[in-house]
Chain A
Amino acid sequence: MATPELERILARHRRDPLQLLQILIEAQAHAGWLPPATLSAIAEALGVPRARVESTASFYSFLHTRPAGEFRILFSDNITDRMLGNQALMKALCDKLWLEPGKVSEDGLVSVDTTSCTGMCDQGPAVLANGRTITRVTPERIDEIAHLIRRRVPVGDWPPERFHVEDNIRRRDVLLDHGLAPGAALAAALDRGATSILGEIERSALRGCGGAGFGSDIKWRSCRDAWGDAHYVICNADEGEPGTFKDRVLLASYFDMVVDGMCIAGMAIGANKGFIYLRGEYRYLLDRLETRLAQRREQGLLGRNILGRGFSFDIEIHLGAGAYICGEESALIESLEGKPGKPRIRPPFPVTNGYRGQPTTVNNVETLALAALIAVHGGEWFRAIGTPASTGTKLLSVSGDVERPGIYEFPFGVTVAEVLEAAGARDTQAVTSAGAAGHCLAADDFGRRIAFEDVATGGSIMVFDHSRDMFEVARNFLHFFAHESCGFCTPCRVGTAVNARLIDKLAADRGSPYDLDEMAKMHRLMQGASHCGLGNTATIALHDMLAKFRPAFERRLHSPEYEPAFDLDAALTQARRMTGRDDAGAHLGDNREALAEERSRPHGGTAAATVAPSPVTPAPTKDLQP
């Protein structure tokens, strides 16, 4: 039986199974987890098998099918957070609360754990407290958080200034200095009409800003031309790439440009409905965004008959729940339909078979804002900015070892060195050009240009100076991918786990050159065989680091001979304890010594002696007898 609270949630979502993820997120908000009875009640109310409810509930990191504590503290664990000391802070909080990371306290009060990058790299280390973002965490803040938790102060009553998130815009260009009133771009687009807008987008040569750089005009045109009962526009605000936070700033301070862009896309492709898929980490923006959408409806800038011009378009915001894979457009659509975020088999592509099987265009937040800009100024104006193959400007999220981390809007074609200079980077060793999933650049690459034809990027620029150990950077990335692989295809599910295990082996001083070869082999395998972009890009940075920063890895090699990842002698502890034995046969020595000894063992005469078809059976030593 559904409780009245759950009834209200179900009614609000029209008992539509496609709203399952949103229902689960809201249902969890009350108890802090999803008890089995709740899952059953939801399954019954939606008329779907319970297994389906459970498969969604268990897929997302932010949904809990077991009690997770009244207070759930998650430390953002991107490499930039680590560089700012998040591990020591997490340990301090655990010590204060008498907790082990990842476990709920015995009284069910609190749990402390890590989570993937929360998009606060410019103001880390960051924490999510019951889903609410706290930035710039310090040891003093940790004391305060522990105090508030012990006194059971609800997170909603914590000092509001703790939840302040800055924009940190460091360089503005045409987009961040647009000077347009809300709705101005939309009005300009309505003046031009759908055909003309598509023409302007084509002339602008706008390419998708999420990283892949697909031509926006091709996407919009194919979607418009596709047959369907309805067309949909989706704004991909699942900004999960470690080190990226530009969409956060666009949504927080340039939301009208984004909404205008969505309406324009809707007009261009013939859609009346749009979705913003907002990553769960940006939950704190939700109420603000909903309020602004409501205001726009009142102002005639959204909803029925926009600006009295006969065009109707409305927007619904869906929340994600902590799954990097949902940034992939077909996984995002699955998630929007309430399912686990596993990428679809393509073709068919979303432009013909997307949300509810209908033609759908999925665009990055930044792409939509730029489309709004193009609607005002025209395609020719836009194409004059940047390089011939990469037009316009790019928002770069710069973090790591720089004096001024934040958002830099540069025209395409800017060199990496110029970006580093602007951000105040010194003694730079390495730069990741597209987060954990992109190439890693060393000093001799810094003259290269940021553009699709040279250094392609979704905007995540993480900077590492010479004091940083690139091995630890690689290790952080490999664990990130092992955690975020959706598990659908074997090359990625197993490959990411194998790589994480191999690099931990190196970190535990048990590495050999063989392990580095295995990682290189895994790179080749995953590149070709993975189902989607996650597996295909999960080892690119590692591959670059192995080539460019090899000493950082070789320093970790323990022996030229293969070493097991575990202590063989320690693997006999339980048997020794249970049998009470401690004789020589109850112990195992080191692999390297054993192999050397075996190799020096005299064999029965020359090689010819062991050839005999009916050989003399050598007397086996007692403990080796099979």
Chain B
Amino acid sequence: MMAQENLNDTSSASAAATPRKLKVATVSLAGCFGCHMSFLDIDERILPLLELVEFDRSPITDIKHCGPCDIGLIEGGVCNAENVHVLREFRANCKVLIALGACAVNGGLPAQRNHLELADILQMVYRTGHGLAVGSAIPNDPELPLPLNQVHPVHEVVKIDYFLPGCPPSGDAIWAFLTQHIEGKDPALGHGLLHYD
């Protein structure tokens, strides 16, 4: 548990005896939560994992903003202004940031819209499409985040330390990645764990 000792920033004697757990934050940006569901596929291994880590901001805890963390897992690409803010929050707070799954790595399915003009899409969906209520308009409430012209993979917006491909990466791959990383090794996924589909 070298890594934990290195990362341990509390200096009291009692804390040194029981190393601080690593803090993990997770979020889904322009994703489908499939990668998070796949994360839960580690099944009962979540119990030993909780011996090693504790969750900060994550759908699991419902914490809305993350504090300083050791590991950040990002699912999904960046499709709107809010995604940009959240991604920056994670980058500022997480020592290691991981792009989790195809959409975070490449933009994935949401990026299918990239070959269309955003203005045309909004016009079609809210103004000229079929079955719209009379007087439909493009939503402009300041509460709503504005969509970006194109959907971007996360590494085009902030620095990413690791990429874990797959749609979704399997629970076993996520487990192998996290345990190796927590043990202080450079994660390496072998045959069977690395998918690009």
Interface assignment of B180: CB less than 8 Å from any CB of chain A: no
Q: Please measure, in the bound complex, the distance between the C-alpha atom of A573 and the C-alpha atom of B119, giving whole angstroms.
A: 10
Q: Count residues of A near B (Cβ-Cβ below 8 Å).
A: 46
Residue of B23, B92, B143, B149 touching A571 (CB-CB under 8 A):
B149
Contact A575 B122 (CB under 8 A): yes
Q: Which residue of A lies closest to B25 (CB)?
A: A610
Q: List residues of chain B with CB within 8 A of the CB of A607.
A: 9-10, 23, 67-68
**How many Å lie between the Cα of A200 and that of B169 in the bound state?**
61
A576 engages B146 (CB within 8 Å): yes
B79 to chain A, nearest CB (A): 10
Supposing A574-B119, A575-B148, A618-B65 touch, asked if A625 and B157 sit within 8 A by C-beta, the answer is no
Whole-angstrom CA separation of A282 from B152 in the bound complex: 43
Q: Verify if A181 is at the interface (C-beta below 8 Å from B).
A: no
A107 within 8 A of B: no
Contact assessment for A583 and B142 in the assembled complex, using a CB-CB cutoff below 8 Å = yes
Bound complex: CA A604 to CA B63 (Å): 12
- Verify A611–B54 contact, CB threshold 8 A: yes
Residue in B93, B118, B122 whose beta carbon sits within 8 Å of that of A598 in the complex: B93
A573 to B23, CA, bound (A): 37
Q: Is the CB of B63 within 8 A of A610?
A: yes
The answer to whether B65 touches A622, judged by C-beta atoms less than 8 angstroms apart, is no
Taking CB atoms and an 8 Å cut-off, the chain A residues in 610-625 that contact chain B are 610-611, 613, 615, 617-620, 622-625
Does A310 make an interface contact (CB < 8 A)? Answer: no
Interface flags for A544-588 (1: CB within 8 Å of B; 0: not) read 000000000000000001101110100111111111110101101
B88 touches A579 (CB 8 A): no
Q: How far is the CA of A564 from the CA of B149 in the complex (A)?
A: 15
The answer to whether residues A598 and B88 also contact, given A575-B146, A579-B138, A581-B142 and a CB cut-off of 8 A, is yes
Contact indicator B140/A579 (Cβ below 8 Å): yes
Q: Does B91 contact A (CB under 8 A)?
A: yes
Closest to B9 in A: A607
A603 within 8 A of partner (CB): yes
Please measure, in the bound complex, the distance between the C-alpha atom of A566 and the C-alpha atom of B23, giving whole angstroms: 32
B150 interface residue per 8 A CB criterion: yes
Which residues in window 474-527 of A have CB below 8 A to B? 512, 514
The answer to whether B148 touches A617 (Cβ under 8 A) is no
Q: Evaluate contact between A617 and B64: CB separation under 8 angstroms.
A: yes
A4 is an interface residue with CB less than 8 A from chain B: no
- Contact of B62 with A by CB under 8 A: yes
Residues of A within 8 A of B128 (CB): none
Q: Given A595-B92, A598-B93, does the pair A564, B156 have CB atoms closer than 8 Å?
A: yes
Contact B140 A574 (CB under 8 A): no
Residue pair B63, A624 in contact (C-beta under 8 Å): no
Interchain CB contact (< 8 A) of A572 among B140, B142, B146, B159 = B146
Instruction: For the complex formed, measure the closest distance between the CB of B138 and the CB atoms of chain A, giving whole angstroms.
Output: 5
* Contact present for A615 and B61 (CB under 8 Å): yes
> Does A164 have its Cβ within 8 Å of any Cβ on chain B?
no
Shortest distance between the CB of B149 and any CB in chain A (Å):
5
A617 to B61, CA, bound (A): 9
Q: Which of A514, A572, A603 meets B148, CB within 8 Å? A: A572
A562→B158 contact, CB < 8 A: yes
Q: Taking A603-B68, A607-B68 as contacts, is the C-beta distance between A591 and B142 under 8 angstroms?
A: no
Q: Are B123 and A578 in contact (CB under 8 A)?
A: yes
Tell whether B89 is near chain A: CB-to-CB under 8 Å.
Answer: yes
Report Cα–Cα, A595/B91, bound state, in Å: 7
B81: A residues at CB distance < 8 A: 572, 585-586, 588
* B184 at interface by CB-CB < 8 Å: no
List of B residues within 8 angstroms of A309 by Cβ: none
A594 at the interface (CB under 8 A from B): yes
Cβ–Cβ < 8 Å partners of A308 in chain B: none
B56 on the A face (CB < 8 A)? yes
| Contact residue among B65, B66, B149 (Cβ-Cβ distance under 8 Å from A620) | B65
A291 to B84, CA, bound (A): 66
- Determine if B85 is an interface residue (Cβ-Cβ < 8 Å): yes
Taking the closest CB of chain A, its distance from the CB of B3, in whole angstroms, is: 17
CB-defined contacts of A578 to chain B, threshold 8 Å: 118-119, 122-123, 138
Q: Is A626 at the interface (CB under 8 A from chain B)? A: yes
CB neighbours (8 Å) of B92 from chain A are 595, 598-599, 601
Q: Contact check, B145 vs A598: say whether CB atoms are below 8 A apart.
A: no
Given contacts A586-B146, A618-B64, contact A624 B10 (CB under 8 A): no
Question: Which residues of the other chain, B, contact A565 by a CB distance below 8 angstroms?
Answer: 156
User: What chain A residues lie within 8 Å of B84 (beta carbons)?
Assistant: 568, 588
A591–B158 CB distance below 8 A: yes
A163 to B150, CA, bound (A): 47
Tell me whether B41 is interfacial, beta carbon within 8 Å: no
Please indicate the chain B residues that have their CB under 8 angstroms from the CB of A583 in the complex: 142
Bound Cα distance from A578 to B91, whole angstroms: 30
Chain B, residue nearest A614 (CB) = B61
Contact A581 B68 (CB under 8 A): no
Question: Would B143 and A610 count as touching, CB distance under 8 A?
Answer: no
B64 and A571 contacting across the interface, CB-CB below 8 Å: no
In the complex, chain B residues whose CB is within 8 Å of the CB of A624: 64-65, 82, 85-86
A609 to B63, CA, bound (A): 12
How would residues 85 to 105 of chain B score, 1 for a CB under 8 Å from any chain A CB and 0 otherwise?
110110111000000000000
Q: Decide yes or no whether B187 CB sits under 8 A from chain A.
A: no
Is B89 within 8 A of A598, CB to CB? Answer: yes
CB distance from B193 to the nearest CB of A (A): 19
- B157 with A564: CB separation less than 8 A: yes
Chain B residue with Cβ nearest A609? B67
Minimal Cβ-Cβ distance residue in A for B65? A618
A586-B146, A595-B88 known; A580 and B140 CB under 8 Å? yes
B5 within 8 A of A: no
Query: Do residues A571 and B85 form an inter-chain contact, with CB atoms below 8 A?
Result: no
The residue that B56 contacts in the complex, of A574, A610, A619, A622, with Cβ under 8 A, is: A610
Distance in angstroms from B136 CB to nearest chain A CB is: 13
CA distance A588 to B78 in the complex (A): 13
Given contacts A578-B122, A611-B54, contact A514 B159 (CB under 8 A): yes
* In the complex, chain A residues whose CB is within 8 Å of the CB of B64: 617-620, 624
Contact residue among B10, B93, B147, B152 (Cβ-Cβ distance under 8 Å from A575): B147
Contact at B88–A574, with CB atoms within 8 Å? no
Contact partners of A591 in chain B: CB under 8 A = 88, 157-158
Kindly provide the distance from the CB of A332 to the nearest chain B CB, expressed in whole angstroms.
32
Q: Could you list which residues of chain A lie within 8 angstroms of chain B, going by C-beta atoms?
A: 512, 514, 561-562, 564-566, 568, 571-581, 583, 585-586, 588, 591, 594-595, 598-599, 601, 603-604, 607, 609-611, 613, 615, 617-620, 622-626
Top 3 A-B residue pairs of the complex, sorted by shortest distance between their CB atoms? A598-B92, A562-B159, A575-B146
Extra contacts, 6 of them, besides A575-B118, A575-B148, A611-B54 (Cβ < 8 A), are A562-B159, A575-B149, A576-B146, A578-B138, A585-B142, A623-B82
21 A-B residue pairs with Cβ-Cβ distance under 8 Å, sorted by A, are A564-B156, A564-B157, A565-B156, A571-B148, A572-B146, A572-B149, A574-B119, A575-B118, A578-B119, A578-B122, A578-B138, A579-B139, A581-B140, A581-B142, A610-B23, A617-B62, A619-B64, A623-B82, A623-B143, A624-B65, A624-B86
